[in-house]
Amino acid sequence: MERKVFVKNVFLFFAALLLPAAGAFAEWNSFSIPDSAEVRSQASRDWFESPLDVVRGLNSEIRSNQIGTQFQIRLEEQQDVFLVIVAPKSQMKVDVYESKGVRSAVEDSYNLDSPGSWLLVRSKKDGAPVSVRYYFAKDAGVYVQFRPNQEGRSSLADMVIFDNYAARGVPLGTPFSTFYTASFVQIQALTKNNLPWASVEPKTGLYDDTLVMVQTIRPLLDKISYEDDAAYNEEGKPVSIRNGQARYVPEGLRKKLTLSSPGFVKWICDGIVEPLAGSYLKMKPLVQPTFEVNPTGAKGVLGANYSSGFSLDWTRNLAAAVLSVRNNKTILYKDSGVDISIEPFAVRWTDKGFQNAAGYIANTGYRVQYLKPLLYVLATRYPQYFYLAAIRQTAKGKTGSECGVFNDAAAIFPYFDSDGKFKAVVFYDGIEYSLQQFCASFEKSQGAFVHLVRVKASSKFYPQEPVKEKEND
């Protein structure tokens, strides 16, 4: 592994030294995307440097690089800027409607944001360049771009992940015009110490355990029925989460697992633990407090017997318990390091302009709107993990006052598929959601936060099947 990294770094170094000679290195890069460096070198004077009126007079054209990959060069205009796009050829399935019905066909496509696309943005006012953007990921919301600094002599670099900037305005001692013809491998070499590439590069082959767990859980969902205050203890017997006492399961539900949302995430963790320990996790350690609550705050609002941090404590203790079983020693939450508290973004672009990124808040977590870019980074940095999510929502107490409470929990499995596209599966209340569906259900709530703890995925995953009727008698 060390030799591979060394060879790769040496290759990148020499590629950077040979910036003008784009052709020799244009076709190899760690993301395996088509490279248009040769095509851009041929088109630079006419398309990138000419006034807008001249560019308007140019017809869209198709050019090929040395290995025959075709790229389309074209102009698109917006209100204040115009775009010169160099996009690789791809194929897209479409439905063709005919008199005899609908048939499927494959058409050539040149999308401005497909992997390998290159985009130059120029001002309509004076033709000055605004930015150059390289699309390299299978997700169009992930890209790297370069802007001229105020003096116009050098450049600033940005790395964007779904409108969140993992890096913004990083100074480079490189003329902006370099990026008119630089290949993707060359910009990687130039910025390998300046931009967080580790946050955007999928780790091929390291998501198998995550997929095993997802594919094991899915067919069991039909055997789960949501019930309040429901879990299974270390013996696999139905119990109340609130008091740990045996729980009666109605006759009509005895062919299913009856679980609440916290009980459901315990059921997932039990499926990892049982093959290692021979039993499921005990209930009592999971409800131990993990942080101090102001007695005049939430508990004063909701009542002395109500734990406003229940699912936060529950998920933290669950993650620590799994870690303990794997290490064959007791590891308390406070020593476990299971909390996710990273701050990978500086600012976020919104319809109101740049805003500070909504980062981690201790004992609260992240805003729901922040989850997608955060999970993308987590899937690249920690590819063998899934996450238990404690969901914080706003509740009204007996006095009418509002406060944030952790009642529910979910399990989130982020990964990159075999094509390199980011995906995330969410299991919540015994139902599978896409990440978009899950986030949309909470986005209208201003007080909605999600606190994450990590658990290493396992291919030796055997969750409990529905208990037999005699075990409920």
pLDDT value of residue 92: 73
Structure tokens at 157: 């670099």
pLDDT band, very low/low/confident/very high, at 303 (cuts 50, 70, 90): very low
C-alpha atoms less than 13 angstroms from C-alpha of 114 in its C-beta half-sphere: 18
**Spatial separation of the C-alpha atoms in residues 11 and 237, rounded to whole Å:** 59
Backbone angles phi, psi at 128, to 5 degrees: -65, 145
The contacts of residue 179 (CB under 8 Å, 6+ apart) are 132, 146, 155, 187
**To the nearest whole percent, how much of the chain has pLDDT over 70?**
86
- Determine how many CB atoms are found less than 10 A away from the CB of residue 114: 18
pLDDT band, very low/low/confident/very high, at 348 (cuts 50, 70, 90): confident
Residue 135 to residues 102, 146, 345, Cα–Cα distance (Å) = 33, 12, 19
pLDDT value of residue 424: 98
Q: Which residue has the higher pLDDT, 26 or 127?
A: 127
Task: Find the Cα–Cα–Cα–Cα dihedral 159, 165, 166, 169, rounded to 10°.
Answer: 60
Q: Which residue has the higher pLDDT, 5 or 91?
A: 91
**Spatial separation of the C-alpha atoms in residues 81 and 123, rounded to whole Å:** 4
Strand partners, 170: 157
Q: Is the pLDDT of residue 58 over 50?
A: yes
**Spatial separation of the C-alpha atoms in residues 135 and 35, rounded to whole Å:** 10
- 110-155 pLDDT, tens per residue? 999 999 999 999 999 999 999 999 999 999 999 999 999 977 679 9
Task: Find the Cα–Cα–Cα–Cα dihedral 391, 446, 370, 114, rounded to 10°.
Answer: 120
Backbone angles phi, psi at 7, to 5 degrees: -60, -40
Q: Is the pLDDT of residue 70 over 80?
A: yes
pLDDT band, very low/low/confident/very high, at 355 (cuts 50, 70, 90): confident
Structure tokens at 237: 């017997």
Q: What is the mean pLDDT of residues 30-48?
A: 93
Structure tokens at 12: 């990148």
pLDDT value of residue 467: 57
Give the position of tokens 């390199």: 420
SS (H, E, C) the chain: CHHHHHHHHHHHHHHHHCCCCCCCCCCCCCCCCCCCHHHHHHHHHHHHCCCHHHHHCCCCEEEECCCCCEEEEEEEECCCEEEEEEEECEEEEEEEEECCEEEEEEEEECCCCCCCCEEEEEECCCCCEEEEEEECCCCCCEEEEEEECCCCCCEEEEEEECCEEEEEEEEECCCHHHHHCCCHHHHHHHHCCCCCHHHCCCCCCCCHHHHHHHHHHHHHHHHEEECCCEEECCCCCEEECCCCCECCCCHHHCCCEEECHHHHHHHHHHHHHHHHHCCCCCCHHHHCCCCCCCCCCHHHHHCCCCCCCHHHHHHHHHHHHHHHHHHCCCCCHHHHCCECCCCCCCEEEECCEEEECCCCECCCEEEHHHHHHHHHHHHHHCCCEEEEEEEEEEEECCCCCEEEEEEEEEEEEEEECCCCCEEEEEEECCEEEEHHHHHHCCCCCCCCEEEEEEEECCCCCCCCCCCCHHHCC
pTM to 2 decimals? 0.88
**Spatial separation of the C-alpha atoms in residues 357 and 370, rounded to whole Å:** 8
pLDDT value of residue 7: 42
Least confident of 30-39, 105-114, 128-137, 379-388: 105-114
**Spatial separation of the C-alpha atoms in residues 172 and 175, rounded to whole Å:** 8
pLDDT value of residue 143: 98
Residue 449 to residues 286, 349, 413, Cα–Cα distance (Å) = 21, 20, 18
- 140-150 pLDDT, tens per residue? 999 999 999 97
Give the position of tokens 């019930």: 227
The contacts of residue 270 (CB under 8 Å, 6+ apart) are 232, 280, 281, 463, 464
Q: Is the pLDDT of residue 294 over 90?
A: no
Least confident of 21-25, 124-128, 141-145, 405-409: 21-25
**Spatial separation of the C-alpha atoms in residues 269 and 257, rounded to whole Å:** 15
Q: What is the mean pLDDT of residues 424-450?
A: 90
**Spatial separation of the C-alpha atoms in residues 429 and 308, rounded to whole Å:** 19
The contacts of residue 49 (CB under 8 Å, 6+ apart) are none
**Spatial separation of the C-alpha atoms in residues 442 and 450, rounded to whole Å:** 10
Backbone angles phi, psi at 387, to 5 degrees: -135, 135
